[in-house]
Amino acid sequence: MSRKPGEIAVSLHYDGYNAPLVSAKGEGDIAHQILEIATQYDVPIYQNSQLTELLSRVELDNEIPRELYIAVAEVIAFAYRLKDKTPVDW
């Protein structure tokens, strides 16, 4: 995994019931560490620089804003499909 200057990474936590929370975020070396940990634990990685930029503005442990629900729902659906899983109570 190559590191790019200005690289940003954001991690979301979704419990299946509430809006996703920003659980980690960072630039440069921190972004690289977030991506390494995600890779190590087989967490799906979705790359969208515009969405990442918007999510990076959300404070840690805060819910994502309503304006991003649809975009993030698509990312969560992508992750579920990669893992061949379905949401809880679906």
pLDDT at 82: 86
Taking the whole predicted model, whether its pTM rises above 0.85 is answered as no
Please give the chain's pLDDT, 90 residues, in tens.
Answer: 444 556 999 999 999 899 999 999 999 999 999 999 999 999 999 999 999 999 999 999 999 999 999 999 999 998 888 888 776 666
pLDDT on residue 88: 66
Q: What is the pLDDT of residue 16?
A: 86
Q: What is the pLDDT of residue 85?
A: 75
The alpha-carbon radius of gyration of the chain (Å, integer) is 13
SS (H, E, C) the chain: CCCCCCCEEEEEECCCCCCCEEEEEEECHHHHHHHHHHHHCCCCCCCCHHHHHHHCCCCCCCECCHHHHHHHHHHHHHHHHHCCCCCCCC
Q: Where are the domains of the chain?
A: 8-82
8-82: CATH topology is name from scop (3.40.1690)
pLDDT of residue 90: 62
- Residue 22 has a CB neighbour count (10 Å cut-off) of 19
